[in-house]
Structure 1
Amino acid sequence: MTESILEPAGVGPVAGGHLRASDSDREQVSTVLSTAYAEGRLTREEHDERLDALLAAKTFDDLVGLTRDLVGPPLPTAAPAVAGPKLDTVAASEETDRMVAVFSGTERKGTWRVRRRIESYALFGGIDLDMREATFESPVTEISGFWCFGGLDIKVPAGVEVRDQTMGIFGGSDVKNVGEPQPGAPVLVIKGMALFGGVSVKGPRPARRWGANAALGRRADHRHHH
């Protein structure tokens, strides 16, 4: 019985298993064995026997059989929750929220309430609306305004549907990183004119992609610069 536990037969060689094991590798295996003994998963005799085999181990393949019945595969981790838009129509206000920036700036951020109707006017100024932590008071929010030598910058949470109906004269609008709308999420409608000005709507930044493709891209950039 003991012999079958210590031999790596049936497990298969690990990647690079022929490589020499270092003292650090042996210390990690020793920690696993000591933890298993403390938890009652190994008897004193089994623990001592595996320690003797550990001292004689030379390669990674020699270490496989010592912990194969003690260490399971890693448990899947839950994907991080993505904060979605908040909708609360109970305390909704019917008043229009007016924002004016003339040679100045206006900002809304944090836990503020987004009313159903917003009027936005900027003349040589800027209006910055951060809705990522805000609460929407209506399923449909309409922002109308006029931006002359000024602009409107909006940050929205994931899931919000954005309908850009602005008209640009020597100006324009830009909507990016918004993603697919979520069922039941608020709809943001933007109307107005940008004259030598602009409207910018941004959603959460997409997650950076790491892995083989990213590594290949970095190597390609390195070769290009050299």
Structure 2
Amino acid sequence: MATPDPNVRISNAEREAVIGRLHAATEEGRLELDEFAERSRKVYEAKTFAEVEQLLTDLPKTTGALAVPAERTTHPAPALELTHSYTTLRKDGAWKVPARIVVRPQHGRTVLDCRDAVFTSDDIEIELDLKYSGFTLVLPEGATAVDDNVQLDGGRVFNRSRAGGDGPRFRLTGRTHFARVHVRYERRFLWWRW
């Protein structure tokens, strides 16, 4: 990181970074406790980097600049990747549904039965990359699914989702290459359910 302009006002995060540097110097024995308390007070009173830099001149520079914490970035939750060829892959029962699923079959069939699944998020993105394949999503009661972002290069999308449910919301994205996508709820006939 470049050395900040001494005339720029200091932020709260940058103040905390300076306090952290003073605390580290105290732990190393470079500052006494009363010096640490006095300098910390001055850091909180400082308005610009120039006022803070003079509090650090007699301490070794570990990075050559004020240690300003980087902004925290939230990493997306890892996706469940389903990649298979010439076979049928089925997820059903009490399986854990992550917030993002990537489905990449070639000449295969994928069935995601979510009727009894455990959801980690209310919004689930399913990214499709289907080649000569079939994909079926069985929704639990109250769930909804939107397929507006699926690019079709042959094939069709059959979405029988009903709007206005209070359950999980599925968003289908990606593309299909001569593939069929079915989104439906549970089917019943007498005592059979599928």
TM-score (norm 2): 0.54
Structure 1 residues 133-152: aligned runs within 5 Å: 133-152=116-135
Is the 1:140–1:186 Cα contact (8 Å) retained in structure 2?
yes
Looking at structure 2, the residues matched to 193 and 99 of structure 1 have their Cα atoms a distance apart, in angstroms, of 15
Partner in structure 2 of residue 95 of structure 1: 78
Partner in structure 2 of residue 186 of structure 1: 168
AA at the equivalent of 1:168 = L
Partner in structure 1 of residue 177 of structure 2: 195
More helix by share: 1
Partner in structure 2 of residue 168 of structure 1: 152
Partner in structure 2 of residue 220 of structure 1: none
- How much does 1:117 deviate? 0.6
Sequence identity percentage:
22
Structure 1 residues 1-226: aligned runs within 5 Å: 94-164=77-147, 165-176=149-160, 178-183=161-166, 185-205=167-187
Instruction: State how many pairs are aligned.
Output: 114
CA deviation digits over 1:174-214, x for unaligned, max 9?
Answer: 111x334323x211001111111111111134899xxxxxx
AA at the equivalent of 2:158 = D
Kindly report the root-mean-square deviation, in angstroms, between the aligned alpha carbons of the 2 structures: 2.0
Gaps of 5+ in 2: 1-75
Higher Rg of the two aligned structures: 1
Is the 1:171–1:194 Cα contact (8 Å) retained in structure 2?
yes
More strand by share: 2
TM-score (norm 1): 0.47
AA at the equivalent of 1:172 = R
Going from structure 1 to structure 2, the CA distance change for 1:180 and 1:145 (only over 3 Å counts) comes to closer
Looking at structure 1, the residues matched to 104 and 118 of structure 2 have their Cα atoms a distance apart, in angstroms, of 22
